[in-house]
Amino acid sequence: MRIEHPYEFVQGTTPLLISMPHPGLLLPDEVAGLLTSEARALPDTDWHIPQLYGFTAKMGASLVIARYSRFAVDLNRPEDDTPLYQTATTGLFPDILFDGTSIFCSGAGRNDEIKRECKERIWRPYHGKLMAELNRIKGEFGHAVLLDAHSIRGEIPRLFDGLLPDFNIGTNDGKSCAKSLSDAVVKACDASGYRHVLNGRFKGGHITRHYGQPDRAFHAVQLELAQRTYMNEQPPFDYRADVAEKVQPILQRLVQAMIDWRP
Q: What average pLDDT does range 204-231 have in this prediction?
A: 98
Q: Classify burial at 189, counting beta carbons within 10 Å of its beta carbon; exposed 0-12, middle 13-18, buried 19 or more.
A: buried
Q: Which of 12-16, 104-108, 151-155, 159-163 has the lowest mean pLDDT?
A: 159-163
> Sorting pLDDT into bands at 50, 70 and 90, what band is 200?
very high
User: What is the pTM for the complete model shown?
Assistant: 0.95
Q: How far is CA 26 from the centre of its chain?
A: 16
pLDDT 10s digits, 209-220:
999 999 999 999
39: helix, coil or strand?
helix
Distance CA 220, CA 214 (A): 8
104: helix, coil or strand?
strand
- Average pLDDT of the residues of the chain: 95
**Topology of the domain covering 7-260:** Aminopeptidase (3.40.630)
Domains of the chain, residue spans: 7-260
Q: What average pLDDT does range 220-241 have in this prediction?
A: 97
E strands, 84-213, in order: 144-152, 167-170, 196-198
The pLDDT of residue 160 is above 90:
no
Amino acid at 76: N
More confident residue, 11 or 83: 11
